[in-house]
Amino acid sequence: MTDAAELRRRTQELLAAQPPATTGRLDFLRARFDAGLAWVHYPEGLGGLGAPRSLQAVVDAELEAAGAPDNDPRRIGIGLGMAAPTILQYGTEEQRRRFLRPLWTGEEVWCQLFSEPGAGSDLAALGTRAVRADGDGDGWVVDGQKVWTSSAHAARWAILIARTDPDVPKHRGITYFVCDMTDPGVEVRPLRQITGEAEFNEVFLTGVRIPDSHRLGETGDGWRVAQTTLNNERVAIGGMRLPREGGMIGPVARTWRERPELRTHDLHQRLLGLWVEAEVARLAGERLRQQLVAGQPGPEGAGMKLGFARLNQQISGLEVELLGAEGLLYDDWTMRRPELVDFTGREAGYRYLRSKGNSIEGGTSEVLLNIVAERVLGLPAEPRTDKDVAWKDLAR
């Protein structure tokens, strides 16, 4: 079994063979993946060594100390946090070897084609159709529309769920695919947000041909496959590793210390309360990641994501109040197409506006409350009169 000492030895061998000072960034990342030091808990040959997940920190610390480049995880978060674990669990060996390496190195960016205009909170009601291609028993043709797709304008690949059988209840007739975003039938349109930028998109799929070799899991079993993606997504959003005063609480705490003229007793009490809640959430996230060492994420990630959204909105609101009129200033309303969101490097006004989306993306807070109630607390489920009704017979 690979232990910490063995990982340090392997890491030093990598650094000796590929000195960061003289090795190109992409060459180093490829070599790191091939050495099994990308994500050590993955299988050998797929960026890992089958080691305990907790030992990744050993490798990361050695590489950081040596000044080695990382793979810019925020830029490729959808690939790392959502696509990769799903491909690992449900992909064929060929799919794993084709997609995981360029995904981890950042050579290929991923996006997520799940939500639709008529199927957001009720994702299982999605209407994008995938039908067998005429005269081609090995392919599918996809038509439909997806929405709220982060980074679609920068993505090479997408994880996609589509309806392949309208004659069964909505959760059972869905299949999971990998979609080529360079296909001529894929059209990406920007969605301008309240911040002025367009990091989200709507995606139109018209006659998009997907080979059956790009299907993940069995036909009709896409909802079960999607649960792996969604559970990992909520952990990725709400359970990210942060230092003390990391995330949204950091800027407002710094402002409080550096601008004593802004302080009031009421704001002080509220800041103290939010600081404690942010620290509790950070430590709970650490605990959740420890649980991941033993297996796949479960519904507990929904609770982390719920807390993340609520805290971000309350903290950013407090920051705007603390700064007064200055907190409303926002120096860039131009239409931009960022690949990732920068919360801490922007103004308080930006943080306040952008955090409003936190209670929608990655599952609305209302849906996540149901998940926590039913799957974590064991409370009675809400009545669902449509669970045995064929999708084609549902009212829309």
Burial (CB < 10 A; 0-12, 13-18, 19+), residue 51, is buried
Task: State which amino acid sits at residue 284.
Answer: A
Query: What pLDDT was estimated at residue 267?
Result: 93
Amino acid at 11: T
> What's the distance, CA 381 to chain centroid?
27
Asked whether 201 and 175 are in contact (CB, 8 A), the reply is no
Confirm if 14 and 80 have CB atoms less than 8 A apart. Answer: no
CA–CA gap between residue 36 and residue 24 (Å, rounded): 19
pLDDT along the chain (396 residues), means of 10: 90 97 97 97 95 91 96 91 94 97 97 91 92 80 95 96 96 97 96 86 97 96 92 66 84 93 93 94 78 62 83 94 87 69 77 88 81 85 84 85
Q: Which of 197, 199, 233, 300 is catalytic?
A: 233
How far is Cα 160 from Cα 88, in angstroms, rounded to an integer? Answer: 16
Q: Tell me, what's the pLDDT at 193?
A: 86
> How many other C-beta atoms can be found within 10 angstroms of the C-beta atom of residue 277?
16
Q: What is the pLDDT of residue 40?
A: 95
The distance of Cα 337 from the centroid of its chain, to the nearest Å, equals 18
Give the pLDDT confidence score for residue 72 in this predicted structure.
Answer: 92
Question: Beta-carbon neighbour count of residue 395 at 10 Å?
Answer: 5
pLDDT attached to residue 359: 86
Cα–Cα nearest to 153, from 104, 115, 207, 199: 199
At 200 the pLDDT is: 87
Q: Tell me, yes or no, if the pTM score tops 0.85.
A: yes
The DSSP result for 14-65, as a single string, is HHHHS-TTTS-HHHHHHHHHHTT-SSTTSPBTTTB-S--GGGHHHHHHHHHH
Which residue reads 């609520």 in tokens? 310
Look at residue 388 in the predicted model and tell me its pLDDT: 86
Phi, psi of 102 (to 5 degrees): -65, -25
Active-site residue, 187 included: no
Which residue segments constitute the domains of the chain, with CATH numbers given? 4-70 (no CATH), 110-222 (2.40.110.10), 239-376 (1.20.140.10)
Predicted pLDDT at 242: 75
Cβ-contact 103, 79 below 8 angstroms:
yes
